[in-house]
Structure 1
Amino acid sequence: MNTLVLQLDEKTVQYLIQTLKEHRIQSTNAYVRFAAKFKQVTILIYASRKVVFQGKNASAVAQELGYKPAVHNSNQDNIKNEQDCPLIGSDEVGNGSYFGGLAVVASFVKQADHAFLRELGVDDSKNLTDVKIKQIAPLLEAKLPHKALLLSPQKYNEVVGDNKLHNAVSVKVALHNQAIFLLLQEGCQPDKIVIDAFTSPKNYQKYLKNENNRFLNPLTLEEKAEGKYLAVAVSSIIARKLFLDNLDELSQKVGFNLPSGAGQQSDKIASQILKTYGKLGLETTAKLHFKNTKKAYQLLKKE
């Protein structure tokens, strides 16, 4: 049996899924996102966007679908890049959501972990379904050194806002710094530390001066780092699960299905929480400095 493996971008994967939807078959592999049988060739699309063609005519079918098999370079997987070293990656989830806490995770990943992570389908949490995240995160938590911090809405509201200890940026600096510091304290020795950029390096260093727990290791803030570094992607997945679990717990506590994000649905739910529990209901479930709070009060007045 001939096997051809391609790594495709998300846009191309979506096109391929659309093209093969009438030939879809079931797959028991938890890591397979989509499977199809086309002209006696089995085509498997993994969550990592790796696409495998299996069958006697694998190369021909791939070419028919528009993908020319590249000459395999045995050195391809060993090309030195910026993440081929022990690395700590840090990311946060919940920053843009009105309801729920703010989750920050720092993870330590070595090159020896890369094959496991890619086979698992590790990717930026925004590219994975919540179901997939809840499947993958426990496996990552069990295998990789990491530190996960959750700032609950109630604690968030105590420290973030006008005339309080933090603003929306400085609180993230504090949490990222603490998560990385704790990981280093446990003996992790990274060659590089990367944070998914949420502010400028200059701004980060300005707020960092207020933190007591400091480390000397240099760190880098990079935009879209979760798509460049597996360590950051791991942190984004664990943080997403932590945020979702917190959102579920808060939903059960108040009896409302709290949505992620900060759209109109959040305004409507917030107004109902105000009606039922008063301001205390929002203080324990939402980030009060968001504009949604004002909109919720306006909706309540209209009732």
Structure 2
Amino acid sequence: MKYYSYTFSATKVSELINHFEQYQLDPDGEYVYFYARIGDTQVRVYLPKKGHTTQKVVFSGPNPERVILNFDDTLSLEIKDTKSPPLPEDYVDLGEQIGSDEVGVGDFFGPLVVTAVYFKKEQIKLVDGLGVSDSKALSDEKIRIIGPVLKQSIDHITAVVNNEKYNSLIKSGYNQNKMLAMLHNHVLAKLRVRHPGNYPAYIDQFVDPRKFAFYLTGPQVSNVHFQTKGEYYYPSIAIASVIARYEFLLCMDELSTKYKMEIPLGAGKIVDEFAVEFKQKYGLKELEKITKTHFANYNRLIDDTK
């Protein structure tokens, strides 16, 4: 893990928040003012010290340099700290378990997908044989090959929130983390009913566990545990990440076929350029049906057409 630490003025902090707004998540610490996650890179802006107008900003991740330079290519890339707990060489629990992961969080186009998986020890040979790991580390081609095998072989439940429903929830006061909390809890609870027992439920952590519980409108699934980079610790999360990614790709295939245009993933410049092209061809109302309209991409599109 690499850490790059900077001290920014209030103006620079505002610029950073605007730049990473589409990736914003709930602050993950008491003194964190702003938190965003872009793939494996995390960005934290800390509350200013008393009497100070500047704020500490930390970029962290395996290789955060691209994210840093994309924001400001004049920033120094002197590494401040490389200490972090090593990832386990193998799964830390191979017993009976359920686990969940999500896809679509950082994609302007396409739905939000959450999958939960029920795993038993005897399935580890299949998992290892297929080369299952975090879906973000696998190519889409690999996902398309092993995804159907996992779906057929391992019990799972997937919840998909299409863009129209997603945007409606945002307008009604939900944020993305609240949606995720309710979706994770829902699919895990349904699997727990299908396979009764008090074995652990693992969630790839995306928010503070206390905030997770706060977001729920009903009881929290029992014996739940949260773990960042959970796909390296628990096979249920690793499998869930692959199935969720596969389902997301199928949804994107359907949209691309429907509109006869290959819709790009992510939320970068290529996506912005495609959004302009799509709007010119199909109009803004149709664009809103397949995008997350609270993303900065949407605001940029509207601003550019004024």
Post-superposition Cα deviations, 1:4-23, rounded to whole Å, max 9, x if no partner, equal xxxxxxxxxxxxxxxxxxxx
Matches of 2:180 and 2:258, distance apart in 1: 26
Q: Is this contact kept in 2: 1:122–1:234, CA < 8 A?
A: yes
Matches of 1:145 and 1:124, distance apart in 2: 18
Give the counterpart letter for 1:100 in structure 2: G
Q: Would you say 1:158 and 2:168 are equivalent positions?
A: yes
Q: TM-score, normalising length from structure 2?
A: 0.67
Gaps of 5+ in 2: 1-88
Q: What is the CA RMSD across the aligned residues, in angstroms?
A: 1.9
Post-superposition Cα deviations, 1:145-177, rounded to whole Å, max 9, x if no partner, equal 11011111111111124xx14111100011111
Q: Is this contact kept in 2: 1:98–1:261, CA < 8 A?
A: yes
Give the counterpart letter for 2:157 in structure 1: K
Aligned residues: 218
Q: Is this contact kept in 1: 2:117–2:156, CA < 8 A?
A: yes
Q: TM-score, normalising length from structure 1?
A: 0.68
Q: How does 1:53-132 map to 2 (within 5 A)?
A: 82-132=92-142
Q: Would you say 1:206 and 2:211 are equivalent positions?
A: no
Matches of 2:198 and 2:170, distance apart in 1: 31
Q: Would you say 1:233 and 2:238 are equivalent positions?
A: yes
Q: How does 1:12-51 map to 2 (within 5 A)?
A: none
Q: How has the CA–CA distance of structure 1 residues 81 and 261 changed in structure 2, closer, same or farther, with 3 Å as cutoff? A: closer
Q: How has the CA–CA distance of structure 1 residues 185 and 97 changed in structure 2, closer, same or farther, with 3 Å as cutoff? A: same
Give the counterpart letter for 2:191 in structure 1: L
Post-superposition Cα deviations, 1:14-54, rounded to whole Å, max 9, x if no partner, equal xxxxxxxxxxxxxxxxxxxxxxxxxxxxxxxxxxxxxxxxx
Q: Would you say 1:195 and 2:212 are equivalent positions?
A: no
Q: How has the CA–CA distance of structure 1 residues 254 and 143 changed in structure 2, closer, same or farther, with 3 Å as cutoff? A: same
Matches of 2:144 and 2:192, distance apart in 1: 27
SS in 1 for 2:99: strand
Matches of 1:119 and 1:187, distance apart in 2: 25
User: What residue number does 1:272 align with?
Assistant: 277
User: What residue number does 2:191 align with?
Assistant: 183
Post-superposition Cα deviations, 1:98-121, rounded to whole Å, max 9, x if no partner, equal 001011000011111112211111
Give the counterpart letter for 1:118 in structure 2: D
Q: How has the CA–CA distance of structure 1 residues 122 and 297 changed in structure 2, closer, same or farther, with 3 Å as cutoff? A: same
Give the counterpart letter for 1:109 in structure 2: F
Matches of 2:108 and 2:92, distance apart in 1: 35
Matches of 1:268 and 1:112, distance apart in 2: 47
SS in 2 for 1:237: helix
Gaps of 5+ in 1: 1-78
Q: Is this contact kept in 2: 1:90–1:107, CA < 8 A?
A: yes
Alpha-carbon distance, 1:245 to partner = 0.9
User: What residue number does 1:32 align with?
Assistant: none
Larger Rg: 1
User: What residue number does 2:264 align with?
Assistant: 259
